[in-house]
Amino acid sequence: MSKEIKPIKLGVLISGNGTNLQAMIDRIQEGTLDATIELVVSSRPDAKGLRRAEKAGIQTLTLDKSIYANPEQADLVIATELKQHHVEYVVMAGYMRKVHDPILAAFPNCVLNIHPALLPSFKGAHAIQDAYDYGVKVTGVTVHFANSDYDSGSIIAQRALNVEEGWSVDELEAHIHEIEHELYPDVIEALAQGRVHLEPSSRRVVIDPIQ
Ligand code: GRF
């Protein structure tokens, strides 16, 4: 007998284009992602992702740059808003900031991030360019739980990509985004199905197979 799936309530944190947010919206609308997006929070007022959220009828919150002068205070505001919207999982999607204790404590092991490289290689904000410049033959995408350090939490899922001879960095980026737009909704769906388990006292994450 298949397990009943309860849609999980997401809060999505963005700073820019929001193509990963769009991929989640599309999957929810086509019925292959059992989630609702309760709130989109942007660290930038001009983020294109905000328009995507509005178009999909999702509530948004934009924080002025000045509020980030005190990052802990900013994260307390964000955590409070997310809780008021009954968010269960916080999904960072191109959010160019660290999350701090107010968010991590309010959502223990429930804050996710996506990184456009195979962690622990190429941490940081320029991972695709850095991997390309390094000349790697294989790179990929990582979805992981967030902690208070950049790109360092427990790895939930990774997908590798062969870098073909002659690709430009733009071609590499396009392939990376293609993977991201599949992998992130897939991981969130696995969470919704209760298949993702963080092993106690380790950083290992186990994903049960689909029944
Ligand atoms: C993605 O490549 C993600 O891995 C990185 O920032 C980018 C965000 O893209 N953290 P978008 O805003 O979702 O289009």
115 is a catalytic site residue: yes
User: What is the distance between the terminal CA atoms of the chain, rounded to a whole angstrom?
Assistant: 9
Residues of 112-149 as b/e, b for ≥16 C-beta within 10 angstroms?
Answer: bbbbbbbbebbbeeebbebbbeeebeebbbbbbbbbee
Given a cut of 90, whether residue 156 has pLDDT beyond it is: yes
Annotated domain spans of the chain:
8-206
Structure tokens at 54: 């509005």
Q: Which of 92, 177, 187 to mutate to test the pocket of ligand 1 (most atoms within 8 A of CB)?
A: 177
d(CA 203, CA 173) in angstroms, rounded, equals 28
Give the model confidence (pLDDT) of 71-94 as tens digits.
999 999 999 999 999 999 999 999
**Fold category of 8-206 in CATH:** Rossmann fold (3.40.50)
Given a cut of 50, whether residue 68 has pLDDT beyond it is: yes
- Averaged pLDDT score across all residues of the chain: 95
Given a cut of 70, whether residue 48 has pLDDT beyond it is: yes
* Ligand 1 binding site (Cβ under 6 Å of any ligand atom): 14, 16-20, 49, 93-94, 114-116, 180
Residue 32 corresponds to which amino acid?
A: T
Number of continuous H segments (helices) and E segments (strands) in the chain:
6, 9
Q: Name the closest-CA residue to atom 8, ligand 1.
A: 94
Q: Whole-model pTM?
A: 0.95
C-alpha closest to that of 8 among 90, 102, 114, 75: 90
